[in-house]
Structure formats: C-alpha cells, structure tokens
C-alpha cells in the first residue's frame, strides 16, 4: 500500500510544509503530562495553559524551534535528603510541543498559581489581489 501525500494531488500545490507539520505533530507523542488547555482569547489571540504545580520559573524553558513551540520542565534534585513515606506528587521532567501556524507569534509567558500561561498572537494578513497579464505567444 502506498502512502498518499499532499504532493500527489495536483490541486494541492505548495502544501508540503503543512504535510511536514502534520507528520511532526503526529510523531510528538505527548503522553498527557502535564495537562493543558488551549483557549481562544480573541479573534486573533490564543492562550495555552499548562498545569505545572511544583515547578518554578527556573525549572521551565520555552523555545520556538522551526515553527514549533516547545515547553520543557525539569526539576532539580533537592529531594535526596528527604524520606518520603508516600510520594504522589510527580517530580518528573516533561516536554510539550505545539506546532504554530504561519503568522502565529509567541507573546508573554506568565506563571500564576501553578499554571503556566503562554499567549499567542496571530497576525492578520493583508488581502492582496494580484492581476496577471496575459501575453501573446
């Protein structure tokens, strides 16, 4: 069985980048930690909220790599001298990735009550109408 790609459809010219983004998203394999919300805060803005209880600002890193927002968390090992009778609070590292559409820029990142808010803004492209002249051959 052959894999169908967007490039194999003649009316889908130039969508190779979209296909790569979809494949990258499918391979990211986020297992569900930490939980997150994505909300639309206005017509052109969004907010991603991650539940990162137990992490400080210094334990978190936010980067944009090839149109992909990557949020990483790694806590320090300050628990070595502590003896836990029960340990139910996760203290593990994580990585969450979100593919950003063209024109979406990352704004502020705010830490509040164990929640990390990352604001995104989508710029509105100007409508461009282009007329193509037909030449005689």
Q: How many domains does the chain have?
A: 1
Q: pLDDT tens-digit profile of 96-126?
A: 999 898 889 999 999 999 999 999 999 887 8
With respect to residue 11, please indicate whether it lies within any of the assigned structural domains: no
Examine the pLDDT at 136 and tell me if it is beyond 80: yes
With respect to residue 101, please indicate whether it lies within any of the assigned structural domains: yes
Q: Domain of 92: which CATH number?
A: 2.60.40.790
With respect to residue 111, please indicate whether it lies within any of the assigned structural domains: yes
With respect to residue 24, please indicate whether it lies within any of the assigned structural domains: no
Q: pLDDT tens-digit profile of 57-96?
A: 999 999 999 889 999 999 876 667 888 898 877 668 899 9
Give the domain range for residue 62.
Answer: 32-122
Residues 6+ apart with CB under 8 A from 21: 67, 99
- Residue 58 has what DSSP assignment? G
With respect to residue 127, please indicate whether it lies within any of the assigned structural domains: no
With CA atoms as reference, report the closest residue to 116 among 76, 67, 73: 73
With respect to residue 10, please indicate whether it lies within any of the assigned structural domains: no
What does pTM read for this prediction? 0.69
Q: pLDDT tens-digit profile of 22-44?
A: 676 666 555 688 999 999 999 99
With respect to residue 87, please indicate whether it lies within any of the assigned structural domains: yes
33 within 8 A of 94, measured Cβ to Cβ: yes
């Amino acid at each position: 069985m052959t894999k169908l790609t967007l490039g194999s459809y003649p009316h889908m010219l130039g969508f190779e980048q979209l296909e790569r983004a979809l494949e990258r998203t499918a391979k990211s394999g986020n297992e569900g930690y930490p939980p997150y919300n994505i909300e639309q805060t206005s017509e052109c803005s969004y907010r991603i909220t991650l539940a990162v209880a137990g992490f400080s600002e210094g334990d978190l890193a936010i980067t944009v790599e090839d149109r992909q927002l990557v949020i990483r968390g790694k806590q320090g090992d300050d628990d070595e001298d502590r003896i836990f009778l029960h340990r139910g609070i996760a203290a593990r590292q994580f990585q969450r990735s979100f593919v950003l559409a063209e024109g979406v820029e990352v704004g502020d990142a705010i830490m509040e009550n164990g929640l990390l808010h990352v604001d995104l803004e989508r710029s509105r492209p100007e409508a461009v109408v282009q007329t193509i002249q037909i030449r005689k051959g």
